Amino acid sequence: MRQSSLVVVANRLPIDDSQAPDGACEWRRSPGGLVSALHPLLRHTPATWVGWAGGTGPAPALPDVDGVRMHTVALSPEDLRDHYEGFANATLWPLYHDAVEQPQHHRRWWEAYQRVNQRFAEATAEVAEPGGVVWVQDYHLQLVPGLLRAFRPDLRIGFFLHVPFPPPELFMQLPRRAELLRGMLGADLVGFQRVQAAHNFAQLVTRVLELPATDRRIGVDDRVVRIGAFPVSIDTAEMGALAARPDVAARARRLRQDLGDPRQVILSVDRMDYTKGIEQRLKAYSELLATGDVKVRDTVLVQVAMPSRERVGQYQILRERIEREVGRINGEFGRVGEPAIHYLTQPFDRAELAALYRVADVMAVTPLRDGMNLVAKEYVAARVDDTGALLLSEFAGTAAELSQAYLVNPHDLEGLKQGLRAALRASPADVTQRMRAMRAHLHEHDIRAWARSYLRALDEGGALVGRLSSTDTNPDGVARVPRPATAPTASPATHQAGG
Ligand code: ADP
Ligand code: G6P
């Protein structure tokens, strides 16, 4: 088994099995913020990525992608149901997002969570060089740091949570709260998106485990675990370069024509998730249409909603509700050849997304709760001519950084409508002033700055930082690699073309 000095461990691998338009087999970058952040960062580094390839059955042997080794972990149908769809996405995900949907608790799910975390820890131990660095990602794998430390104390272990970490009164609902906290404390450094999350964690550790904790350090046995906020970002230069490409600019012009040359285009790009506030946004838009504040010929809304976690009941119900509402709004306000909402559920490559960002006069990013929200950052990075209004939820981690956006509370329907109206009617000078400030921030705080600050803190010397690549040769994020001998069995939980 080949070993690496840097191992990234995440539930999902950065690539998805998908079909190219010419029918060829392609592995494409998986949507979702975690992959968008880490994939450009790790390209051309001698790292190994341990993760799940989607589907069930034996783990397929994947070739390296952009120089990064792919080490797959298999999930059985029961693991998929009870670990991924169950404990990860029907217990932890809703609980960590303010319980906007009811978290469910089943003992069988917890068993699967432990089992799958154990499997990831074992797979990681196999591929990590002696004394190497392991960087564990996100809520699916909170037990991995503790399990790994038990049999590989030589490793330096980092953990980063991409989603919010909830306040104590919510986390305390978890029947296995102590085990989850202990699992995370197996790391040398526990990173969060926001300072408040680190504070919540320190409070919980004190309360549940009775350990001495501040918002920066926690004493565990004879070790010190450091904690802190490291807001994740994007490859700002990559998105800027992509958006500035002449073919992307031409594509944006063509898109505008195809949309009927409206005066203003509003865009939203989300995974179809109840945390994203899609229903609230549609309601606000529909009320603006009803009052005549927004007119169909003048303005169009493009809503990209990529289906996600499709076998989980709450996601199925959400999709039905959204599609019914889009149908109702188009039926009521659209005209022949002029729908009020262009609704798209397909995956797009990076160049097409960049063209969409370029065509959007207003970008509406209004989640009810979001760890960060990289779509908002991608939009800003793509606005190379300093135009475009970003309507942003106060409840997205991004709002702490992009405070010059038009900020709204998505729970407040009137406030949401007012924010949308303000963004649509803003003066070009105001829009440009705000956009320039946000672009300057993202120029400094890009994905490499994030990785540098995290890895420096983990490494306490910074030698690791030099192992990351600084160039990018594949901005489209499409890796054409031969299909492996054993292809993973397709499952509705994978991101496939059309869902
Ligand atoms: P989350 O991680 O919750 O999905 P983020 O906004 O942080 O939310 O990240 C979403 C990522 O997925 C972004 O990089 C975005 O460009 C990408 N994405 C969203 N929808 C699509 C789509 N339809 N096709 C391709 N990529 C998408
Ligand atoms: C969020 C999570 C990631 C996850 C992504 C896509 O960004 O923080 O861990 O990979 O959503 O969700 P999925 O369930 O398809 O992996």
Judging by beta carbons within 10 Å of its beta carbon (0-12, 13-18, 19+), is residue 438 exposed, middle or buried?
A: buried
Our answer on whether the CB atom of 39 is closer than 6 Å to any ligand 2 atom is: no
236-443 belongs to CATH 3.40.50.2000: yes
Tell me whether residue 370 is one of the annotated catalytic residues. Answer: yes
**Residue 499 identity (one-letter amino acid):** G
- Is the distance from CB of 350 to CB of 374 less than 8 angstroms? no
pLDDT tens per residue, range 272-311:
999 999 999 999 999 999 999 999 989 999 999 999 999 9
Q: Which of 97, 233, 271 to mutate to test the pocket of ligand 2 (most atoms within 8 A of CB)?
A: 271
Ligand 1 atom, smallest distance to 306 CA? 23
Average pLDDT (34-39) is: 86
Q: What's the pLDDT band for 67 if we cut at 50, 70, 90?
A: confident
Q: What's the pLDDT band for 13 if we cut at 50, 70, 90?
A: very high
pLDDT tens per residue, range 148-162:
999 999 999 999 999
Among 41-45, 323-327, 442-446, the least confident range: 41-45
What are the tokens at 31? 């949507």
- Mean pLDDT computed over every residue of the chain: 91
Per CATH, the architecture of 4-229 is what?
3-Layer(aba) Sandwich (3.40)
Average pLDDT (360-389) is: 98
pLDDT tens per residue, range 37-53:
888 888 878 899 999 98
Predicted confidence at residue 47, as pLDDT, reads 93
pLDDT tens per residue, range 227-285:
999 999 999 999 999 999 999 999 999 999 999 999 999 999 999 999 999 999 999 99
Indicate if the pLDDT at residue 472 is higher than 70: no
Q: In what order do the strands lie in the sheet with 25-29?
A: 15-19, 25-29, 478-479
Predicted confidence at residue 66, as pLDDT, reads 84
Which-ligand-closest: CA of 234? 1
Question: What string of DSSP letters covers 77-90?
Answer: HHHIIIIIIIIIII
- Is the distance from CB of 419 to CB of 395 less than 8 angstroms? no
pLDDT tens per residue, range 102-121:
999 999 999 999 999 999 99
Indicate if the pLDDT at residue 359 is higher than 60: yes
What pTM value is reported for the model? 0.93
Average pLDDT (428-453) is: 97
Q: What stretch(es) of the chain map to CATH 3.40.50.2000?
A: 4-229, 236-443
Predicted confidence at residue 292, as pLDDT, reads 97
How long, in residues, is the chain?
A: 499
Indicate if the pLDDT at residue 487 is higher than 50: no
Our answer on whether the CB atom of 162 is closer than 6 Å to any ligand 2 atom is: yes
Ligand 2 atom, smallest distance to 163 CA? 8
